C-alpha cells in the first residue's frame, strides 16, 4: 500500500467574467502558494478570468480572500467585472470546460454585464463614538439628563433602581437616535445610487453598514455627500468609506462547474 499522499487533479480557478475579445494576461498573481498565471479565456466577446489550480476547496482564510480580491481589483482597473463566488474551480485542466461554461450561460453573463456596465460598488460603514453619542443623548433628552443630575450626588446603593431605569432609557434613546441617523444618511445618499443594499450591523455602536451601486459618472457627487455627512456628524460618528469594490452585493453569480 502506497504511503504517498494523493495529489489533487488540476483544474481552472474562476475569478470573474468580463466583456472582452482576444487574449488578456495578468501575470503570476493566482490563488494559493503557487501564484499561477492569471489570464482570460474568451468565447464570442465574453471572457472568464482564470488561473490553473489544484481541484481543492480553498479555506475562506484572510490570505486566500485577499488574493481572490486582488485579482478582481486588477481586472476592475480596465473592465466591468462579474465576481464569481470564492473557490469556484472548473474540473478541466484545459480551456474546454471554461468555454462550455461561457457558452451555456452566455445570455445570463451578457445581460448581467450590460446591467453592471459603467457602475461600481462603494461601501459605507458608520460607527458611533460611544462616549460622544451618549453625551449627545444626555444633551437632547431632558428627562434622562434631569434624572441623571438628581442621582449624581446620591449613594449608589440607595439609587440602584433609578440607575437601572436610566440605563434602560439611554439604551432606548440610543436605538431611536441610531435609527434616525441611519435613515437620514440613507435619504441623502440613496437618490444618487442605482441600488442600495443595507447589510446587518455588528455591535450596537454601528449605525449603518451599506453597499451602494453607483454609476461612475455619479461618483464625484456621491463622494461629496459622504464627505459633507462625515463633517456634519464627525463629533460623534466615524465614517468608513470604501471603494471601488467588486459588486458582490449586487451580483450573485454562482457557476455550476459539475458535469461541464
Alpha helices in the chain (DSSP H): 62-76, 96-104, 106-116, 130-140, 142-151, 160-189, 219-233
Q: What is the pLDDT of residue 58?
A: 93
Domain segments of the chain as ranges: 10-117, 120-245
Q: What is the mean pLDDT of residues 97-118?
A: 94
Q: Which residues contact 152 (CB under 8 A, 6 or more apart)?
A: none
pTM to 2 decimals? 0.82
CATH fold for domain 120-245: Alpha-Beta Plaits (3.30.70)
Q: What is the mean pLDDT of residues 161-177?
A: 79
Distance CA 213, CA 3 (A): 52
Q: What is the mean pLDDT of residues 105-109?
A: 95
Strand 119-128's sheet: what is its strand order? 195-198, 206-215, 119-128, 237-245
Mean per-residue pLDDT of the chain: 88
Q: What is the mean pLDDT of residues 235-239?
A: 90
Q: What is the pLDDT of residue 167?
A: 75
Which of 168, 184, 181 lies closest to 127 in space, CA to CA?
181
Distance CA 253, CA 14 (A): 11
The SS3 call for residue 50 is strand
Q: Is the pLDDT of residue 2 over 50?
A: no
Q: Is the pLDDT of residue 127 over 80?
A: yes
Q: What is the mean pLDDT of residues 4-32?
A: 90
**Which cell numbers hold the place of 1?**
500500500
Amino acid at each position: 500500500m502506497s504511503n504517498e499522499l494523493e495529489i489533487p487533479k488540476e483544474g481552472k480557478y474562476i475569478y470573474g467574467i468580463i466583456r472582452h475579445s482576444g487574449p488578456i494576461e495578468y501575470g503570476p498573481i493566482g490563488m494559493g502558494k503557487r501564484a499561477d498565471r492569471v489570464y482570460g479565456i474568451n468565447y464570442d466577446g465574453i471572457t472568464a478570468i482564470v488561473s490553473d489550480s489544484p481541484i481543492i476547496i480553498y479555506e475562506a482564510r484572510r490570505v486566500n480572500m485577499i488574493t481572490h480580491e486582488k485579482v478582481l481589483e486588477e481586472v476592475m482597473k480596465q473592465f466591468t467585472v462579474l465576481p464569481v463566488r470564492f473557490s469556484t474551480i472548473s474540473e478541466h485542466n484545459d480551456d474546454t470546460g471554461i468555454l462550455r461554461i461561457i457558452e451555456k450561460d452566455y445570455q445570463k453573463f451578457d445581460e448581467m454585464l450590460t446591467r453592471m456596465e459603467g457602475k461600481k460598488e462603494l461601501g459605507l460603514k458608520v460607527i458611533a463614538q460611544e462616549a460622544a453619542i451618549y453625551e449627545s443623548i444626555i444633551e437632547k433628552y431632558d428627562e434622562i439628563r434631569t434624572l441623571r443630575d438628581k442621582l449624581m450626588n446620591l449613594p449608589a446603593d440607595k439609587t440602584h433602581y433609578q440607575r437601572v431605569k436610566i440605563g434602560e432609557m439611554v439604551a432606548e434613546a440610543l436605538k431611536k437616535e441610531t435609527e434616525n441617523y441611519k435613515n437620514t444618511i440613507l435619504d441623502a445618499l440613496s437618490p444618487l445610487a442605482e441600488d442600495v443594499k443595507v447589510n446587518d450591523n455588528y455591535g450596537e455602536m454601528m449605525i449603518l453598514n451599506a453597499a451602494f451601486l453607483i454609476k461612475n459618472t455619479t461618483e464625484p457627487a456621491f463622494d461629496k455627500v459622504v464627505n459633507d455627512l462625515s463633517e456634519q456628524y464627525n463629533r460623534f460618528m466615524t465614517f468608513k468609506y470604501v471603494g471601488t469594490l467588486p459588486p458582490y452585493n449586487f451580483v450573485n453569480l454562482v457557476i455550476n462547474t459539475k458535469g461541464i
